[in-house]
Amino acid sequence: MEVVGPDECTPTARGAAVTVGAYDGVHLGHRHVIARLRELADSRHLETVVVTFDRHPATIVRPESAPPTLTDLEQKLELLADCGVDRTVVVTFDRARSDETADDFVTSVLVGALAARLVVVGRDFHFGHGRKGDVALLGEMGGAFGFEVEPIALIGGGGGEEAPVSSTRIRRLIADGDVADAATLLGRPHQVRGRVEHGAGRGAALLGYPTANVGVAPEIALPAPGVYAGRFSWRGADGHPAAISVGQPPTFDDQGDGSPVVEAYLLDFDGDLYDEAARVTFERWLRPQRAFDDLDALAAQMADDVEAARRVLA
């Protein structure tokens, strides 16, 4: 898959079948749209193109209420490549882009940069300044510029048509700690990424359970505070079983800046992971976080957590 910006695009002679969106999470609903895009493109011998953004548009338009994101840009591009599209166009979403009218976006990106012949989007698709662009406007402009528009109904997941698969719904499940249902809608377990950092040093020294502290970017969606069964990947291994804690350790007083901490205890592993680029996936909620009266009680609970994770991941 080729990844370019809109200014780097050279329209192909055959034209393009295009879909546009934030594509946060590249979940089953997104994959449904892309599958239809590829099907129609193949029948018309068109290039398949996803137009997406380098950040969630809400971080510019309404930063005070912007949602946490399910993927960073790197992971989103990996997932889109897995969908089999020919090209992804990454649009820098800044203040100037947020002020761009829907008409200008169509003429500059869809027509000028891509020579679109077909545009496939969800029926509720909105774009442009003030979200004034919609499927009806795309249809009108398609008639003028020579591209067809195919609106796609949102697919349901676990709730039929009343509960479509959406990034918002998945974020809510993750925030509630329901990572298993979130995985069903994503089509994979929720994953966060970051480098392994030095923590407080309590895991190995005080409790006998050394953990890898993963520094996750603050804009990424984390599960509710608690303990999870999941997997830990880095350059030396993929999907190593782990018991994972998310949140601030309630048994200890030093809470740092109060930001949630992701700590993974790798089952049956002994090695140095500092500064490794890590990927942590969450497969099952085990228990909420709680404070313990003493370190012995905490260590005993950690032993139980490890065995619970082992059973779940077996």
Pair 202, 154 in one domain: no
The pLDDT of residue 207 is 64
Can you tell me the distance from the alpha carbon of 124 to that of 135, in angstroms, rounded to the nearest whole number?
8
Q: Tell whether 57 is covered by a domain.
A: yes
The pLDDT of residue 255 is 55
**Phi/psi class of residue 204: alpha, beta or left (left: φ > 0; alpha: ψ in -120 to 50)?**
alpha
Q: Tell whether 289 is covered by a domain.
A: yes
The pLDDT of residue 205 is 47
Q: Give the global pTM.
A: 0.91
Pair 257, 109 in one domain: no
CA distances from 118 to 85, 91, 161, 180, 298 (A): 14, 19, 26, 36, 58
Q: How many CB atoms are located within 10 Å of the residue 1 CB?
A: 15
Asked if 126 and 22 touch (Cβ cutoff 8 Å), the reply is no
In this structure, what DSSP letter does residue 107 have?
I
Q: Which of 30, 287, 262 is nearest to 168 (CA)?
A: 30
**Phi/psi class of residue 46: alpha, beta or left (left: φ > 0; alpha: ψ in -120 to 50)?**
beta
Q: Tell whether 167 is covered by a domain.
A: no
- Residues of the domain holding 290: 192-313
Q: Tell whether 180 is covered by a domain.
A: no
Non-local CB neighbours of 73 within 8 Å, separated by 6+ positions: 54, 55, 90
Q: Is the dihedral of CA 182, 183, 187, 189 positive or negative?
A: positive
Q: Tell whether 78 is covered by a domain.
A: yes
Can you tell me the distance from the alpha carbon of 165 to that of 146, in angstroms, rounded to the nearest whole number?
31
Angle between helix 179-186 and helix 167-175 axes, rounded to 10 deg: 160
Pair 102, 229 in one domain: no
Pair 14, 157 in one domain: yes
Q: Which two tokens stand for residue 213?
A: 């502290």
pLDDT confidence tier of residue 303, bands split at 50, 70 and 90: very high
The pLDDT of residue 109 is 95
* CB-side neighbour CA atoms (13 Å) of 177: 15
Residue 17 in 3-state DSSP? strand
Would the pLDDT of 62 be above 90? yes
Per the structure, the count of domains in the chain is: 2
Q: Which of 56, 79, 53 is nearest to 66 (CA)?
A: 56
How would DSSP label each residue in 175-197? HTT-HHHHHHHHTS-EEEEEEEE
Pair 22, 103 in one domain: yes
Q: Which two tokens stand for residue 136?
A: 């009806």
Can you tell me the distance from the alpha carbon of 231 to that of 65, in angstroms, rounded to the nearest whole number?
31
Would the pLDDT of 304 be above 60? yes
Pair 142, 248 in one domain: no
Q: Tell whether 30 is covered by a domain.
A: yes
pLDDT in tens, 29-49: 999 999 999 999 999 999 999
pLDDT in tens, 156-175: 765 444 578 999 999 999 99
The pLDDT of residue 152 is 93
Lowest mean pLDDT among 2-11, 131-140, 216-225: 2-11
Q: Which of 169, 33, 21 is nearest to 93 (CA)?
A: 21
The CATH number of the domain where 105 resides is what?
3.40.50.620
pLDDT in tens, 92-131: 999 999 999 999 999 999 999 999 999 999 998 999 999 9
Average pLDDT over residues 68-73: 97
Would the pLDDT of 201 be above 50? yes
How would DSSP label each residue in 124-136? T-EESGGG-EEHH
Q: Which two tokens stand for residue 1?
A: 């898959």
Non-local CB neighbours of 11 within 8 Å, separated by 6+ positions: 113, 114, 115
Pair 227, 115 in one domain: no
The CATH number of the domain where 278 resides is what?
2.40.30.30
Q: Tell whether 179 is covered by a domain.
A: no
Can you tell me the distance from the alpha carbon of 311 to that of 174, in angstroms, rounded to the nearest whole number?
22
Q: Tell whether 95 is covered by a domain.
A: yes
Pair 20, 138 in one domain: yes
